[in-house]
Structure 1
Amino acid sequence: MQRPEFDSIKDYTEFCKYYWYRDELIKICKAHGLKATGSKIELNKVIEAYFSGEKILPEKKKTAKKKKAVVKLTLDTGLIACGFTFGNMFREFFRQQTGEENFKFNVDMVATAKAVKESGDESFTLGDLLDIYYGKKTYATYDKSALQWNKFVKDFCADEATGIYSERLKAAAALWKIVRESDMKKEYSHDLFEKYKDIFL
């Protein structure tokens, strides 16, 4: 089944049968006067609300309040109070805390920092964020369903049978396009390969 135009889709359940890229979701939201910013997950929530009769409108720009800068960061420093970002100053702070030379923020830290800022939780500290890094606490987790394409390619390439293609990535992308625009599960399987393998040879 080919993916229909958005305006001909009757409900959110039908909408979820198909794969949508983030830029497509942004276009849909803009075309319908809805909030068109945020992650793919957030945009999906805006569209889900739209199908249930609620319009989440674009946010009006807020004038930023000047905050007093925190000079020295400690584990007790509030994430909101210090104006936390994923910039070099904070990466260096966590590098020192973990002892990891090439420290990188993980996806759950990103999801948590965003949730803390959105909720205005002033009690949440950099120490709490470090606990998220080590998996000692859970506050908000990253929805890994946004990585369907990455998993699809990984599983495609892990299947030795796909070695018949000289350009595996192109073949994976062509097969993904078929899956993405259909109501099939957005997962790679060997059966899927067997069904469509001759198309890409």
Structure 2
Amino acid sequence: MQRPEFDSIKDYTEFCKYYWYRDELIKICKAHGLKATGSKIELNKVVEAYFSGEKILPEKKKSAKKKEVVVTELTLDTGLIACGFTFGNRFREFFKQQTREENFKFNVDMVATAKAVKESGDESFTLGDLLDIYYGKKTYATYDKSALQWNKFVKDFCADEATGIFNERLKAAAALWKIVRESDIKKEYSHDLLEEYKHILL
């Protein structure tokens, strides 16, 4: 089934059958006078609220002065907000020392958590808490992995040996994804899906 226009969709369940890019969600929210900022997950929540009769309106810009960062020495007890936490080298080096991992990388749950802490203004949350998030000892905010549907689709497409018939696999994957995205088909790659639409892709 072809994806309908947003205004002809009756409820959130029907809306979820289709894949929407973040840019499309922003346009939908703006067109309906809703909050149109944030991640794709946040925008989906705005749309969900809209279908249940609640309007999440755009936030008024705060004119509060930014606090000056005074923390110079980082410890596990240092507040995330107090030290002006970013995902830059200073903090990567700190976590590299704490974990003793030479190639330390922030994971997606750390990113989601830091964003949530800053948005809520939670001054009690520390770098030690963020380390616990890294090790999976605590949960604060988790990254919604459904936002990675396209990545998984391409990975699974390329892993299927049958897709070796395409000179440009990525183009073929994108063409197949477009069919899936604009329909109510499950947003996952399968060999059966390839067989069904191979004639269009060749």
Deviation at 1:97, TM superposition (A): 2.0
TM-aligned CA deviation for residue 115 of structure 1: 1.9
TM-score where L is the length of structure 2: 0.94
| Deviation larger for 63-72 or 153-162 | 63-72
Q: Percent identity?
A: 93
> 4+ residue stretches of structure 1 with deviation over 4 A?
none
- 1:24 aligns with 24
Structure 1: tracts of 5 or more residues without a match: none
SS, match of residue 46 in structure 1: helix
SS at match of 1:27: helix
1:68 CA drift (Å):
4.0
> In the TM superposition, what is the alpha-carbon distance from 1:110 to its structure 2 partner?
0.7
Residue deviations 1:132-154, cap 9 Å, x none? 11222222111000000000001
Q: Deviations over 1:9-51 (max 9, x none)?
A: 1111111110000111011111111111111000000011111
Distance 1:70 1:93, change over 3 A: farther
* Shift of residue 74, structure 1, vs aligned partner: 0.8
Deviation digits for residues 166-189 of structure 1, max 9, x if unmatched?
111111100000000000100001
Cα distance in 2 for partners of 1:78, 1:69 equals 11
The size of the alignment, in residue pairs, is: 201
Structure 2: distance between partners of 1:75 and 1:95: 13
Partner Cα separation in structure 2 for residue 52 and residue 99 of structure 1: 48
Q: TM-score, normalised by structure 1?
A: 0.94
SS in 2 for 1:102: coil
SS of 1:127's equivalent? Answer: helix
Task: Give the root-mean-square deviation of aligned CA atoms.
Answer: 1.4
Deviations 1:43-81 (A, max 9, x none): 000011111111111111112433242331111011122
User: Distance in 2 between the 1:123 and 1:65 partners?
Assistant: 20
Segment of structure 1 superposing worse, 98-107 or 135-144 = 98-107
Paired position in structure 2 for 1:73: 74
Alignment of 1:43-192 (within 5 A): 43-71=43-71, 72-192=73-193
